[in-house]
Amino acid sequence: MELVKLTIDGKEVEVPAGITVLEAAERMGIHIPRLCYDPELSAVGACRICVVEIEGMRNLPASCVTTVAPGMVVRTGTPAVIEARKTILELLVANHPLDCLTCEKLGECKLAAYCYEYGVAKSPFAGEKHDYEMEDSNPFIVRDLNKCILCGKCIRACAEITCRDILDFAYRGFNTKVAPFGDTPYVESDCVFCGNCVAVCPTGALTEKQMMGKGRRWELKRVKTTCPFCGTGCNFDLCIKDDKIVGVASNPDSPVNGRALCIKGRFGWDFVHSDKRLTTPLIKRDGQFVPATWDEALDLIATRLGEIKEKYGPDSFAALSSARCTNEENYLVQKFTRAVMGTNNVDHCART
């Protein structure tokens, strides 16, 4: 691997050639603020808050799209850099609602976090402000375009993670907004509601509808688990409050899927607390299902399967397994079918 030697904030470092200044700083433990950058998405340098000072360059380049070079001298916290970042934040909040006290994303909003870090409480820039209606036409995602900072992360997530290309910038200038083709509502577009756009949004412009009003983000305990809906093995975090699941959040450290999830994994958890779920085995007696113990239910199943095998033969039995089960459970199903019931009539829903 070709290495490049450069200096960042007075410290010399050797990093792989081809990486960006932002990535090199991260390797040194230096955090550079970013709003449009995401390691899982292509870099576009849209928000400019990651600017740094590089000797020999007249302007302050965006570190997320500037490739390291031999002998480069980078400074990440000079007065000029700090002033530039403050100005960028002031420009962003000039057309951004300052309703942080009631915003669902407070605690996870990067814009609010950076405004706090750089001491930006309001904007000196006055002018026309957007007044978009909040869109909640679909059951999964709420859009508040008044809080959109046009970072483009949702657009790239839709194109590069989900590969749907539903979103893009619409209109021009002050009227620029993110929208599906024809500026149609989400629910009328070809959106598959995977929510990957919500996962990468750095502000309150996109919110999981099921989580609204369920608690502040810092109140939620996050428990990493594996999605049960198919055999891919995606990981995510269950958001827990008062011992109840209130939502699902992407976990960037998931080895299989990163932050990518499908609609079932991200939004299909509400069955957990459904009052229609069975909590005890049921046995039919006199045409009615009545509660039974597990021993009663398992004894009945074993008896009936034995009777069927004795009367009609092993091949009268077949087993259909599910991708929602673990590999170990699926193994036991086929083992039971072959070793106990004596037939090879076993299939799996994900075989095709």
Torsion of CA 247, 251, 255, 257, to 10 degrees: 60
Q: Are 352 and 322 in contact (CB under 8 A)?
A: no
- 242-299 pLDDT per residue, tens: 999 999 999 999 999 999 999 999 999 988 999 999 999 999 999 999 999 999 999 9
Compute the distance between CA of residue 244 and CA of residue 56 in angstroms, rounded to an integer.
56
The CA-to-CA distance between both ends of the chain, in Å, stands at: 41
Please report, for residues 109, 139, 242, the alpha-carbon distance to residue 217 in angstroms, rounded to integers and kept in the order given. Answer: 10, 20, 13
Compute the distance between CA of residue 12 and CA of residue 74 in angstroms, rounded to an integer.
10
What percentage of the chain has pLDDT greater than the value 90?
A: 88
**pLDDT (average), residues 81-104:** 95
At 88, is the secondary structure helix, strand, or coil? helix
What share of residues in the chain are helix, strand, coil (percent, to 5)? 30, 20, 50
**pLDDT (average), residues 142-157:** 96
- Domains in the chain with CATH codes: 3-92 (3.10.20.740), 134-273 (3.30.70.20), 282-348 (3.40.50.740)
- 296-336 pLDDT per residue, tens: 999 999 999 999 999 999 999 999 998 778 889 999 999 99
How do 206-208 and 221-226 pair as beta strands? unpaired
**pLDDT (average), residues 182-201:** 92
**pLDDT value at 352 more than 70:** no
pTM of the model: 0.85
